[in-house]
Amino acid sequence: MYPWSHNSSRMRYGESGFALIVTLLLLLVLMLMAAGIAYMGSAYVDLSNAVSLKPQAINAAETCVDQATDWLKTNDGINWVTGVGSAFDLADPSKGPLYQHNLLTDTAPTGVADNRSSEFKNMAGRGGFKSCVIQKVAATSITGVGKEIGTCDNCSNLSYTVKITADGNFNVQYNSDGTINSKYWNSNSSRSLLEIVLDYIP
């Protein structure tokens, strides 16, 4: 037996153990990389869904503006704007005339049967507004202005500047205190805040 045979076999055993450790470390690194890629992919999908559904939340906020301007034409709206005109949430659960209004009610056909698909109704029913605050900002006299031929002599001599602030959302659940319930927030949820200032003549 050669004197170096025992040493060479010992070196071979040591190298095989080192290779096992390196292999395990490489597997750990690959697993961490895969987990990171999966997380980034999931976050990207959530962000993409939130962006792609943002128009639905904006449409819900615009629904508030549409219905608030319609409310201004009613007797209650005229009395409000010609009176104090303090900030009033039209979507208030206790006294708001637009409480529980949403995209579905705003787009409902009038005078004919509602033959819209169930998919559309499901989508529109998830878009609504949490709050729809209307406030009179100013009243401006328009006496002597607009008295040309064809104008209305019996119209109001005041022009009212009105601000409407809408909190539109799509597939969003809120807590009783008005904060978003994060338990139900998901990749299909979106929120939009919209503020409109308009001139209104009753």
Q: pLDDT digits over 137-164, tens only? A: 988 887 655 555 455 555 557 888 999 9
The distance of Cα 148 from the centroid of its chain, to the nearest Å, equals: 45
Q: What is the largest CA-CA distance in the chain?
A: 125
pTM for the whole thing? 0.65
Domain boundaries of the chain, sorted by first residue: 1-52, 56-200
> Contact at 8 Å (CB) between 98 and 68?
yes
User: What is residue 195's predicted lDDT score, i.e. its pLDDT?
Assistant: 93
C-beta of residue 137 within 8 angstroms of C-beta of residue 81: no
The predicted model gives 55-83 an average pLDDT of 90
> Distance between CA 168 and CA 191 in Å, rounded?
6
Q: How far is CA 113 from CA 108, 109, 116, 117, in A?
A: 9, 7, 9, 12
What residues contact 4, with CB distance under 8 A and at least 6 apart? none
What digits encode the pLDDT tens for the residues 107-126? 888 888 888 888 888 888 88
